[in-house]
Chains A and B, each alone.
Chain A
Amino acid sequence: MFNVNITGEYVVFFIFATIIIGGAVLMISLEKVVHMVISMAAAFLGLAGMYVLLDAEFVAFVQVLIYAGAVSILMIFGIMMTKHNGEAAEPVKPLHETLAVIGALCLFGLLFYAIRASDFQSTAAFHPGEDNTLAIGELLFTGYIVPFELLSILLTVAFIGAIALAKKEAE
């Protein structure tokens, strides 16, 4: 079942997995909201390292810029803009929390069983290209130009909408 060769990739994978899961579990269990966001940023950075391990350098740097940079700072802005007394409120509904734990564990069991039962076999070796960024750019601007343009429209609409929503009502 777990017949994994201890290679360099496996060791690095294990280190990054520890960082990611540690950050995620700390995010769930810490007391203060700002600390939660910081531990989440650690998990995002670990994921970026994992992407480098998977030959996806461009996505790794996008991850650092967007998630570890922009989204974390946006969440901290959200915390600062709304009033927090520092402490995250404790859940008062034990039944609700127990059901959430059971649901998450059931989903994990299902996924784990599916992953273990599947037979993944790679037929070809992965060629990330001479220059990962160049290859992604060529693919993006030749094969996927329509989704790219749709995404740019989506981003524009979303940010205008965000400004319109967060703008103070003139009363």
Chain B
Amino acid sequence: MLSSYLTLAAILFCIGLYGTLAKRNAIIVLLSLELMLNAVNLNLIAFSKYGAIPSLTGQLFSIFTITVAAAEAAIAVAILIALFRARGTVLVDAFNRMRR
């Protein structure tokens, strides 16, 4: 049963990785990042039930991850709004001033 959960988490992580790499809209990139974080959470909770030493610590760590992810989402949306004010777009390939 554990390997089913791990496979599901791997699928989710790879979908998130693809979205992060290939999407041009910054909000969708952020959503894909959240998807990857959720895949990690699923792994933590699956190991907390089916791992070698089952304990509640995995669930606790996933709560920590959720908290950090919430802070990350708030900061990211704030940066996105500031960037939109400065550049007038949310497409990630428009944010290339430091490359020039």
Q: Are B54 and A124 in contact (CB under 8 A)?
A: yes
Any B CB within 8 A of the CB of A165: yes
Any B CB within 8 A of the CB of A101: yes
A155 to B2, CA, bound (A): 32
Which residue of A has the minimal Cβ distance to B19?
A: A28
Q: Are B66 and A66 in contact (CB under 8 A)?
A: yes
Any B CB within 8 A of the CB of A15: no
Q: Are A24 and B15 in contact (CB under 8 A)?
A: yes
Q: Are B15 and A126 in contact (CB under 8 A)?
A: no
Q: Are B30 and A154 in contact (CB under 8 A)?
A: no
With an 8 Å Cβ cutoff, the count of chain A residues facing the other chain is: 86
Knowing A123-B52, A124-B54, A151-B68, the reply to whether A112 touches B7 (Cβ < 8 A) is yes
Please, could you name 12 A-B residue pairs with CB atoms under 8 Å apart, sorted by A? Answer: A10-B1, A54-B45, A63-B41, A71-B34, A82-B90, A91-B23, A103-B21, A104-B15, A120-B2, A135-B56, A155-B70, A166-B78
Binding site for B on A (CB under 8 A): 4, 9-10, 13, 17, 20-21, 24-25, 27-28, 33, 36-37, 40, 43-44, 47, 50-51, 54-56, 58-59, 62-63, 66-67, 70-71, 74-75, 77-79, 81-84, 88-89, 91, 96-97, 99-101, 103-105, 107-108, 111-112, 115-116, 118, 120-129, 132, 135-136, 139-140, 144, 147, 151, 154-155, 158-159, 161-163, 165-166, 168
Binding site for A on B (CB under 8 A): 1-8, 10-19, 21-25, 27-28, 30-32, 34-35, 38, 41-42, 45-46, 48-57, 59-60, 62-64, 66-75, 77-82, 84-85, 88, 90-91
Extra contacts besides A120-B50, A123-B53 (17): CB < 8 Å: A4-B1, A21-B12, A51-B45, A67-B34, A71-B73, A89-B25, A101-B22, A105-B14, A111-B10, A115-B10, A120-B2, A120-B51, A125-B54, A126-B55, A151-B67, A161-B75, A166-B81
